[in-house]
Amino acid sequence: MTVAGADVAVAGAPFAAHRVLGIETSCDETAAAVLLDGRHIASSVVSSQIDLHARFGGVVPELAGRAHVDLLTPVVAEALAEADLTGADIDAVAVTWGPGLVGSLLVGVSGAKALAMAWGVPFVGVNHLEAHLFASTLEQPDLEPPLVVLLVSGGHTFLVELEAPGRYRLLGQTIDDAAGEAFDKVARYLGLGYPGGPVIDAISAEGDPTAFAFPRALPGATYDFSFSGLKTSVVRTVERHPEAATADVAASFQEAVVDVLVAKTMRAAEHVGATGVCLAGGVAANSLLRSRISEAAASAGIAAYLPSRAMCTDNAAMVAAAGWWRLAHDGPSPLSLGADPNLFLDLIA
């Protein structure tokens, strides 16, 4: 079979797409979105599998993959319908090809290739981490680099200097748990359910953040993070103070995480002379992190760019945005592209 659009586009020539369909299946969210001209979100549909995994206290990879198979087609259909378009109107299909759960990624990648071939349009693989970085800037038309971006999700925690789209310099990263993972583990230990971030965020509003002085790891000059000691300290504290109010423990834990995230982000921003700081990833939805980073940026006289909460957690609009830019910059991906569960950002020195 000859697929004209896909074949021509695979030649690697930059491709300007008007309407991009984005697909995201790297973890437990099945998502599809239509993005116009790389910036305007015509639709963004996210079907969360939280209820499916909640009783196991975390994402079960086998269940996630099977659920994506069931959900992908209806979610794509809904995204097209909400944008008032059909497949014939789509100019390119962008999909997350890593990092993430390999079985889940493969569902999205295979589905995206099938749609691109059926519609005769280019296909582009998107790095999920780069998509989160695009999410932090998608809603902000007048960003001026250099920016420092704090990406904090369930699987990753790092600080990058964004010199320009596609040009990322790693400043520091977690040496053990991701920030979201720490929220999830502490919430599970406190019996608060899954996912832990939103519930700790909510319950902390009723707690005293000064009740317990949890450790702030790696306070020195490094931009690296460490959260596993903090989690252990929460466990020890609850063992020693079984009478402690859960809201106080949660609020004190959240305070310790946010303290470190904000201090390092602001120090990095000063170091690189950033015009602003951006948040990205699921933990960027955290209320305390959002208010503290806004206050810190305001007092440093630089901008704070906070994506909407829906744009912080996994979604396909950010995949379409990164895909649109990659298409315009590098051209489409070959249809031989697979899934890479361990993909990291392409960094500059």
Pairing assessment for the beta strands 40-48 and 147-152 based on DSSP bridges:
unpaired
| 3-class DSSP assignment, residue 93 | strand
| Candidate list 172, 195, 276, 323; residue touching ligand KG4; CB under 6 A | 195
CA distance 271 to 133: 20
Binding to Zn ion (CB under 5 A): which residues in 282-341?
Answer: 314
Is residue 285 a contact residue for ligand KG4 (CB under 6 A)?
A: yes
- Site for ligand KG4 (CB under 6 A): how many residues? 19
Owner of token pair 């990205």:
280
Token output for 71: 């959900």
Contact mark string toward Zn ion, 100..139, x via CB under 5 A:
----------------------------------------
| 3-class DSSP assignment, residue 79 | helix
Stretch that binds ligand KG4, among 47-55, 115-123, 191-199, 229-237 (CB under 6 A): 191-199
Is residue 99 a contact residue for ligand KG4 (CB under 6 A)?
A: no
| Candidate list 196, 207, 307, 332; residue touching ligand KG4; CB under 6 A | 196
CA distance 268 to 264: 6
According to DSSP, residue 138 is labeled H
Token output for 212: 């317990």
Decide whether 93 or 135 has the Cβ nearer to ligand KG4. 135
How many C-beta neighbours within 10 Å does residue 84 have?
A: 10
Decide whether 115 or 151 has the Cβ nearer to ligand KG4. 151
CA distance 328 to 266: 32
Is residue 146 a contact residue for ligand KG4 (CB under 6 A)?
A: no
Is residue 281 a contact residue for ligand KG4 (CB under 6 A)?
A: yes
Decide whether 257 or 311 has the Cβ nearer to Zn ion. 311
Is residue 98 a contact residue for ligand KG4 (CB under 6 A)?
A: no
Phi-psi region of 287 (alpha: psi -120 to 50; beta: other; left: phi over 0): alpha
| Candidate list 38, 108, 197, 209; residue touching ligand KG4; CB under 6 A | 197
Residues 6+ apart with CB under 8 A from 202: none
Residue 138 interaction partner, one of ligand KG4, Zn ion, none, beta carbon < 5-8 Å per kind: none
Binding to ligand KG4 (CB under 6 A): which residues in 27-66?
Answer: 27
Contact 283, 155 (CB under 8 A): no
| Candidate list 23, 109, 112, 283; residue touching ligand KG4; CB under 6 A | 283
In whole angstroms, how far apart are CA 315 and each of 57, 129, 149, 228?
A: 22, 12, 18, 28
Q: How far is the CB of 140 from Zn ion (least distance, A)?
A: 19
Closest CA to 195 of 71, 296, 286, 299: 286
Decide whether 171 or 318 has the Cβ nearer to ligand KG4. 318
In whole angstroms, how far apart are CA 80 and each of 75, 90, 209?
A: 9, 9, 45
| Candidate list 146, 155, 166, 193; residue touching ligand KG4; CB under 6 A | 155
Residue 198 interaction partner, one of ligand KG4, Zn ion, none, beta carbon < 5-8 Å per kind: ligand KG4
CA distance 302 to 274: 8
Binding to ligand KG4 (CB under 6 A): which residues in 308-347?
Answer: 313-314
| Candidate list 153, 226, 254, 286; residue touching Zn ion; CB under 5 A | 153
Q: Which residues bind ligand KG4 (CB under 6 A)?
A: 27, 153-155, 180, 183-184, 195-198, 201, 281-283, 285-286, 313-314
Q: Which residues bind Zn ion (CB under 5 A)?
A: 153, 314
